[in-house]
C-alpha cells in the first residue's frame, strides 16, 4: 500500500477501561484510556473505589482515636502516617517530645522508608513483566523489618505506635540489635538487587525516557517525594523543614536528571542507602530517658480529656511517598472540627495523563507503577 | 488435617489394604482431593489485607504448599475469591460482578474485619457493611489485617469444607444450575437494594460452620 | 518568610483594590480577588509561591471556606495559609487550577465532598463518590443512609 492510501484509511480510537480489577493497577484504581492503535491519546484516572470516609469518621472521634485509622491510610507505611499525625497534633497542642522518643520515631520512619521503597521496586518490576520474582526478594527483606515492628508494637502492619508527645512503649530488648543487623545486611541486599536490576538491559529499555516529567510541571502540579526529586528538584522536607530532629543527621538528597521511570527507580535505591546512614547515626546516638512526655502520657491514658486549644494547624512530613500533611481545625473540644489529609500519592496522580500521552499502553502501566500509589491513601 | 469419611468404605479395610500398597477410594474422595489441592484464588486485592495476602503468597508463608499459590488475574480461571479489604459501596457492584463471572464451583473467603462487617470503617457513608449482603461467604476470617498464618488457616478450613461436599448432592453439580447474584445499583445515597434478601437477613447473627 | 503583615501590605500596595484580612495566621481573601492574588503570589519575585501543597475546604455553620497551603520551593519558605470564603448555598470560588496544576484533583475532591463549586475548573466532576450521588458527605448536616 502506498503512503497516500494509508493516509486516507479511516481509523478509530479505542476506549479501554483498565481496572478497577486489574492485576497491575496496584489495587482498585481505574484508568480510562483512549487509544489510537497502541498509543495513548487520552487517559483519565477514576478513583474512589476505596473511599473509606476517613475524614468524616475522624470528626466523630477523639484525637487519639484517629491514630489507628492513620495506619490504614498508606497501609505499607503505617509508622510514617502516625508520625505525620502526631506531629500535627503536637504542633496544635504545643506538646514537647522527649529526646529518646525523637530518636525512636526517626528509626521507625527510616525503617518504614526501607520497606516502602523495597516493595515499590518489587511491584514496579512486576509491572514490567518480571512476574513475582523481584517481589519475592522484596518481601523477604520486608519480613525482617516487620518482625522488628511487631516486637515493639505487637502488630506487623498496623502499628499504631505513636502517641502525642512520644511513643506508646519503649523498645523491647534486642530491638536495637535487630536494627543493627538490618544496617549491616541491607546494603548487601541492595547490592544484590542492583546487580540484578540496575543495569539490566530490559529494565533500561523499558524505563529510560518513559514517562518523563519536567521540573516545571512537577513543581506546578504539587508532586512531592522521590518523584519530585527524580525530576531534578532537590526538595526534601526532612532538610527543608528539619522537623523532629532530622537536622542533626548527616545525609544527602539524591536527585535525578531526566525525570523518567528509571530515575524514579534509581532515586529510591539511593534514598534507601541514605536511610541506612541515618539509621546508623540514630542507633549510635540514641540516649536513655523517657519515651513519652508526662503530659502526653496523661493524654494517652484519657483521650477524652485531651483538648487542644482552638485553632488550626498544618503539619507535614516527608513520608516515603512524598509530602504527607494533616490539616486540623480544633474548636476546643476533644474531637477535631475538621480533619484533612494531604495524601501524596493522590496528588502525584494529577499528572499521570501528561506523562502517558503519546506513549504506548504498556508504558502507562510502568509509569503508574513508578508513581508509587497506595489506594488507601489516594481515596482515604 | 482430618478428612471426614464421606465414602462408604470401611476404614479398617482401607488401612489394611493400604499396608499392602493398594489404595481404595471413591470417586467423590478423589475428586474432592483434586479440587481442594488446587484452589486457584483470584488475584484481587482491595485494601490493606491484600498486602498480607501477597505476603502469604511469598516465600516465608508460601501458600503454594496448600495448592493455592496460583493467583489468576481473570475470574474465569479462578475458584476462590479472597475479598481482601474494605468493600466500598462504589466497589461492591464490581465485586458481585466478578463473583458472578467465576465458574462453578466457586468459593469466597472474606479476609479481614472490613469485608465481614465494615470493620473499623463501619460507620462510613461509603462503606459496605459486609460483602455477605450480596454474595454467599464460605469462610469469615477476622483480623485487621489477619496475619498470613490466619489466611492459611482460613484456606485449610475451606479445604475441609470442600472435602465434606458430596458431588451428587452439591447444587453446583446439578443439571441446569445457573447461579447469578443480582448486581446492586448506585442510588442517590447508597446502593439499591441495600442487601440481597436471598443471601442475607438483617439483624440476625449467622454462623457459618465448616465441614 | 517575612512577616505576614508585610506580605499583606505588599499585596495591597501592588494590587490596589484588593483587601485582605489577617486571621489566626491566615490570609483571608475575598473570592472575587482570589484568582488575581493567586497569580501575583506565584509570579511575584519576592515570594514566588510556586508550590500549592494542599487545597481543602471546611464547612462552618454560616459559610464554606476553601483553605490553601502555599510553599515556595525556590525560596524555601512557607506555609502561607490562604482562606477564601463563600456562602453555603451557591458556594462558588474561582478555580486556581490554571495557576497551579496541583489544584486540579484537590478542587474536584472539595467539590465532591463539600460542594464548593470552583468556577473555571477544566473538569469539575465528582472524584471519590459516584456520579449521581446526591449529597456532599463532608458537610456537617449530611445524614448517611440507615442500612
A chain contacts of residue C67, beta-carbon cutoff 8 Å? 327
What is the average per-residue pLDDT within C20-36? 85
Question: Residue B1: what pLDDT?
Answer: 44
According to CATH, the topology of domain C4-94 is Beta Polymerase; domain 2 (3.30.460)
CB atoms within 10 A of CB A337: 17
Question: Residue C68: what pLDDT?
Answer: 92
Question: Residue B211: what pLDDT?
Answer: 44
Question: What span, in angstroms and rounded, lies between the C-alpha atoms of A23 and A20?
Answer: 9
DSSP B197: T
Are the beta carbons of C58 and C1 closer than 8 angstroms?
no
Question: What span, in angstroms and rounded, lies between the C-alpha atoms of A32 and A30?
Answer: 7
Q: How many residues does chain C have?
A: 147
Q: Minimal CA–CA distance to B97: which of A18, A20, A378? A: A20
| ipTM score of complex | 0.90
Question: Residue A340: what pLDDT?
Answer: 92
Contact C144 B194 (CB under 8 A): no
C chain contacts of residue B125, beta-carbon cutoff 8 Å? 137, 142, 144-145
Contact B189 C130 (CB under 8 A): no
Residue pairs between chains B and C whose CB atoms are closer than 8 Å:
32
- Residue position matching grid coordinates 477476622: B142
- Residue position matching grid coordinates 496496584: A26
Measure in Å the smallest separation between the Cα of A156 and chain B Cα atoms: 8
B chain contacts of residue C136, beta-carbon cutoff 8 Å? none
Find the helix or strand (DSSP H, E) in which C94 lies: strand C92-94
DSSP B100: H
What is the average per-residue pLDDT within C95-121? 90
Name the residue ranges covered by the structural domains of chain C: 4-94
Contact C53 A53 (CB under 8 A): no
**pLDDT over 60 (residue B126):** yes
CB atoms within 10 A of CB A361: 18
Contact A327 C50 (CB under 8 A): no
Contact A219 C26 (CB under 8 A): no
DSSP A209: T
What percentage of chain C carries pLDDT values higher than 70? 98
Question: What span, in angstroms and rounded, lies between the C-alpha atoms of B11 and B2?
Answer: 13
Contact A57 B123 (CB under 8 A): yes
- Chains touching B by CB (3 or more pairs below 8 Å): A, C
- Residue position matching grid coordinates 522521590: A226
Question: What span, in angstroms and rounded, lies between the C-alpha atoms of C95 and C104?
Answer: 9
Question: Residue A254: what pLDDT?
Answer: 92
One pLDDT digit (tens) per residue for chain A, 380 residues: 566 666 677 778 888 888 788 777 677 888 888 988 888 999 888 888 889 888 999 998 899 989 999 998 888 889 999 999 999 999 988 888 999 999 999 999 999 999 999 999 888 888 888 878 888 889 989 999 999 999 998 888 888 899 888 888 888 888 889 999 999 999 999 998 888 888 888 888 888 888 889 998 899 898 999 999 999 899 899 888 888 889 889 999 999 888 899 999 999 999 999 999 999 999 998 888 888 888 888 878 888 888 888 988 999 999 999 999 999 999 888 899 999 999 999 999 999 888 888 888 888 888 988 888 888 888 88
Question: What span, in angstroms and rounded, lies between the C-alpha atoms of A362 and A252?
Answer: 34
- Residue position matching grid coordinates 502520657: A297
Measure in Å the smallest separation between the Cα of C102 and chain A Cα atoms: 4
Question: Residue B3: what pLDDT?
Answer: 52
pTM for the whole structure: 0.89
**pLDDT over 70 (residue B208):** no
Question: Residue C7: what pLDDT?
Answer: 79
**pLDDT over 60 (residue B209):** no
In chain A, positions 118-157, which contact chain C (CB-CB < 8 Å)?
none
What is the average per-residue pLDDT within B65-85? 88
Question: Highest mean pLDDT range out of B28-32, B154-158, C70-74?
Answer: B154-158
What is the average per-residue pLDDT within C105-117? 90
Find the helix or strand (DSSP H, E) in which C23 lies: strand C20-23
Nine-digit cell at B152? 492459611
Question: Residue A114: what pLDDT?
Answer: 92
Each residue's pLDDT tens digit, B43-57? 888 888 888 998 998
Question: What span, in angstroms and rounded, lies between the C-alpha atoms of C81 and C70?
Answer: 6
Pairing state between β C77-86 and C64-72: antiparallel
Are the beta carbons of A343 and A322 closer than 8 angstroms?
no
Pairing state between β A162-163 and A166-167: antiparallel
Each residue's pLDDT tens digit, B179-207? 888 899 888 888 888 888 888 877 655 55
Q: Which residues contact A358 (CB under 8 A, 6 or more apart)?
A: A39, A40
Q: Minimal CA–CA distance to A251: which of A228, A229, A280, A224? A: A280
Residue pairs between chains A and C whose CB atoms are closer than 8 Å:
79
What is the average per-residue pLDDT within B2-14? 67
C-alpha atoms less than 13 angstroms from C-alpha of A47 in its C-beta half-sphere: 28
Question: Residue A106: what pLDDT?
Answer: 92
Question: Residue A133: what pLDDT?
Answer: 84
Q: What is the mean pLDDT of chain B?
A: 85
Measure in Å the smallest separation between the Cα of A312 and chain C Cα atoms: 8
C chain contacts of residue B129, beta-carbon cutoff 8 Å? 147
A55 touches chain C (CB under 8 A): yes
Find the helix or strand (DSSP H, E) in which A295 lies: helix A294-301
Coil/strand/helix, residue B50: helix
CA A47 to mean position of chain CA atoms: 18
Question: What span, in angstroms and rounded, lies between the C-alpha atoms of A142 and A112?
Answer: 9
**Confidence category of residue B85, pLDDT binned at 50, 70, 90:** confident
Measure in Å the smallest separation between the Cα of B98 and chain A Cα atoms: 9
In chain C, positions 91-110, which contact chain A (CB-CB < 8 Å)?
100-106, 109
Question: Residue A115: what pLDDT?
Answer: 92
DSSP A40: E
Contact C145 B186 (CB under 8 A): no
Each residue's pLDDT tens digit, B101-116? 998 888 999 998 989 9
Amino acid at each position: 500500500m502506498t503512503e497516500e492510501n494509508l493516509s486516507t484509511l479511516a481509523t478509530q480510537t479505542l476506549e479501554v477501561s483498565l481496572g478497577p480489577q486489574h492485576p497491575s493497577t496496584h489495587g482498585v484504581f481505574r484508568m480510562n484510556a483512549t487509544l489510537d492503535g497502541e498509543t495513548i491519546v487520552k487517559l483519565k484516572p477514576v478513583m474512589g473505589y476505596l473511599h473509606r470516609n476517613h475524614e468524616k469518621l475522624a470528626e466523630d472521634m477523639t484525637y487519639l482515636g484517629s491514630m489507628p485509622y492513620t495506619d490504614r491510610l498508606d497501609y505499607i507505611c503505617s509508622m510514617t502516617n502516625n508520625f505525620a499525625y502526631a506531629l500535627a497534633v503536637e504542633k496544635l497542642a504545643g506538646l514537647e517530645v522527649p529526646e529518646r522518643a525523637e530518636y525512636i520515631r526517626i528509626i521507625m520512619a527510616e525503617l518504614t522508608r526501607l520497606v516502602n521503597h523495597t516493595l515499590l521496586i518489587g511491584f514496579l518490576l512486576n509491572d514490567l513483566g518480571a512476574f513475582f520474582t523481584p517481589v519475592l526478594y522484596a518481601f523477604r527483606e520486608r519480613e525482617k523489618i516487620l518482625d522488628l515492628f511487631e516486637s515493639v508494637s505487637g502488630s506487623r502492619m498496623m502499628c499504631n505506635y505513636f502517641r502525642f508527645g512520644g511513643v506508646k512503649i519503649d523498645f523491647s530488648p534486642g530491638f536495637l540489635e535487630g536494627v543493627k543487623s538490618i544496617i549491616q545486611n541491607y546494603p548487601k541486599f541492595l547490592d544484590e538487587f542492583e546487580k540484578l536490576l540496575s543495569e539490566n538491559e530490559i529494565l533500561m529499555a523499558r524505563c529510560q525516557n518513559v514517562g518523563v516529567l519536567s521540573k516545571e510541571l512537577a513543581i506546578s502540579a504539587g508532586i512531592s517525594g522521590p518523584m519530585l526529586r527524580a525530576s531534578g528538584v532537590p526538595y526534601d522536607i526532612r532538610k527543608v523543614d528539619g522537623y523532629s530532629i532530622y537536622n542533626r543527621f548527616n545525609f544527602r538528597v539524591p536527585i535525578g536528571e531526566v525525570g523518567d521511570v528509571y530515575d524514579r527507580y534509581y532515586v529510591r535505591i539511593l534514598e534507601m542507602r541514605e536511610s541506612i546512614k541515618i539509621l546508623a547515626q540514630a542507633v549510635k546516638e540514641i540516649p536513655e530517658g523517657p519515651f513519652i512526655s508526662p503530659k502526653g502520657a496523661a493524654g494517652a491514658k484519657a483521650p477524652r480529656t485531651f483538648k487542644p486549644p482552638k485553632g488550626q494547624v498544618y503539619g507535614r512530613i516527608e513520608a516515603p511517598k512524598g509530602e504527607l500533611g494533616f490539616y486540623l481545625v480544633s474548636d476546643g473540644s476533644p474531637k477535631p472540627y475538621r480533619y484533612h489529609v494531604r495524601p501524596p500519592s493522590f496528588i502525584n496522580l494529577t499528572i499521570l495523563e501528561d506523562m502517558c500521552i503519546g506513549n504506548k499502553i504498556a508504558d502507562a502501566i510502568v509509569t503508574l507503577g513508578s508513581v508509587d500509589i497506595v489506594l488507601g491513601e489516594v481515596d482515604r | 488435617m482430618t478428612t471426614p469419611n464421606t465414602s462408604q468404605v470401611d476404614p479398617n479395610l482401607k488401612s489394611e489394604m493400604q499396608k499392602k500398597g493398594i489404595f481404595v477410594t471413591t470417586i467423590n474422595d478423589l475428586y474432592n482431593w483434586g479440587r481442594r489441592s488446587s484452589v486457584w484464588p483470584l488475584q484481587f486485592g482491595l485494601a490493606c489485607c491484600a498486602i498480607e495476602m501477597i505476603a502469604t503468597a511469598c516465600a516465608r508463608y508460601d501458600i503454594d504448599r496448600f495448592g493455592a499459590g496460583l493467583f489468576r488475574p481473570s475470574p474465569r480461571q479462578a475458584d476462590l475469591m479472597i475479598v481482601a479489604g474494605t468493600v466500598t459501596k462504589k466497589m461492591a457492584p464490581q465485586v458481585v460482578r466478578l463473583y458472578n463471572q467465576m465458574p462453578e464451583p466457586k468459593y469466597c473467603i472474606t479476609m479481614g474485619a472490613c469485608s465481614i462487617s465494615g470493620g473499623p470503617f463501619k460507620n462510613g457513608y461509603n462503606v459496605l457493611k459486609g460483602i455477605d449482603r450480596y454474595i454467599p461467604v464460605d469462610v469469615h476470617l477476622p483480623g485487621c489485617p489477619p496475619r498470613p498464618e490466619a489466611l492459611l488457616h482460613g484456606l485449610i478450613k475451606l479445604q475441609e469444607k470442600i472435602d465434606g461436599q458430596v458431588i451428587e448432592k452439591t447444587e453446583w453439580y446439578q443439571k441446569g444450575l445457573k447461579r447469578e447474584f443480582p448486581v446492586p445499583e448506585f442510588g442517590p445515597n447508597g446502593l439499591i437494594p441495600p442487601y440481597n434478601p436471598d443471601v442475607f437477613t438483617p439483624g440476625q447473627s449467622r454462623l457459618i460452620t465448616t465441614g | 518568610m517575612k512577616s505576614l503583615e508585610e506580605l499583606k501590605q505588599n499585596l495591597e500596595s501592588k494590587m490596589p483594590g484588593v483587601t485582605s484580612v489577617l486571621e489566626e495566621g491566615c490570609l483571608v481573601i475575598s473570592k472575587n480577588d482570589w484568582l488575581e492574588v493567586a497569580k501575583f503570589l506565584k509570579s511575584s519575585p519576592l515570594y514566588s509561591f510556586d508550590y500549592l501543597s494542599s487545597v481543602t475546604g471546611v464547612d462552618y455553620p454560616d459559610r464554606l471556606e476553601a483553605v490553601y497551603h502555599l510553599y515556595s520551593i525556590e525560596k524555601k519558605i512557607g506555609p502561607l495559609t490562604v482562606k477564601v470564603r463563600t456562602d453555603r448555598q451557591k458556594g462558588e470560588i474561582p478555580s486556581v487550577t490554571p495557576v497551579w496544576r496541583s489544584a486540579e484533583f484537590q478542587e474536584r475532591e472539595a467539590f465532591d465532598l463539600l460542594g464548593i463549586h470552583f468556577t473555571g475548573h477544566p473538569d469539575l466532576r465528582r472524584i471519590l463518590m459516584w456520579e449521581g450521588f446526591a449529597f456532599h458527605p463532608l458537610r456537617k448536616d449530611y445524614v448517611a443512609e440507615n442500612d
